Amino acid sequence: MPATCTLLAGDCTTRFETTAGDERIQRGRVVVLAKPDRTLLVHDRSGYRPVAWLTRAASLTVETDDDGFAVTAHDEGRTLSVRSHGAGDAVEFPVTGAGAPVDECPEPDCGAALVRAGGDVLCLGCGDSYGLPSGATVHDDRICDDCGLPTMTVERGESLDLCIDYACDSLTDAVRDALDRRFDCPDCGRDLRVREHRGRAFLGCDGYPDCETAFSVPAGTFAGECACGLPRFDTSTGTRCLDGTCDLDRPADPECEP
């Protein structure tokens, strides 16, 4: 389920202290925002800038009762505390990441919006989240026939069309179908095999552990062969050899030419 954000308002005393002896005390009718990432923000009526804040604190506590509320954030020798004078108001709201709308959640009891937020596609209702591989293009007009989720295109040598749910379509299996045993190890001549480590596919020598040669697979499509014999890839940052350290793939420096 989505995380919650606590919104508090009232006549409050705000105190910011450090272990070095610094202290700043303010009082006023303010709005206090306690976020799920343990960020605490205190706003008054002027401007967009908080009058006090502590971002991503090590700890954040919110206490409320009939007499009011107390909020305390602490991090690395700094403490920000807010105490209300009187009951004040406190409300919890569900919050999610925000991103470009993609589709609707296919779960029968949900149907909320799916959005792309950073490296994930997440549901604003049930909170389901689908991590995206680097360079993925999510399609809002192409739906997986099996689960109803959007599909994506991922470039790993070839363009691979997959469901965004790894449980439905395995990216490693698709990369294996495209790249396994397709190239030779530049050090020993044996096949480069598609392997997986922590959910990421890479090309490693079939002679492992005798030969430990391995390469990560760039997000891009094939662009011919490098002078070293390995494939080159067109990526978002330019054309490069599978071996990111390959000197033969680098253009000559004009100043070094005879």
Within the chain, all domains assigned CATH 2.70.180.20 are found at 3-95
118, 97 in Cβ contact below 8 A?
A: yes
Q: What is the pLDDT along the chain (258 residues), one digit of tens a residue?
A: 568 999 999 999 999 999 999 999 999 999 999 999 999 999 999 888 999 999 999 999 999 998 999 999 999 999 999 999 998 899 999 888 899 999 999 988 898 999 998 889 999 988 889 999 988 999 988 999 999 999 999 999 999 999 999 989 999 999 999 999 999 999 999 999 999 888 788 999 999 999 999 999 999 999 999 988 899 999 988 999 999 888 776 554 444 343
> How many CA atoms lie less than 13 Å away from 43 in the CB half-sphere?
13
Structure tokens at 110: 């949900």
Surface-to-core class of residue 239, CB atoms within 10 Å of its CB (0-12 exposed, 13-18 middle, 19+ buried): middle
Handedness of CA 139, 144, 149, 152 (dihedral sign): negative
Topology at the third CATH level for domain 3-95: Protein Yojf; Chain: A; (2.70.180)
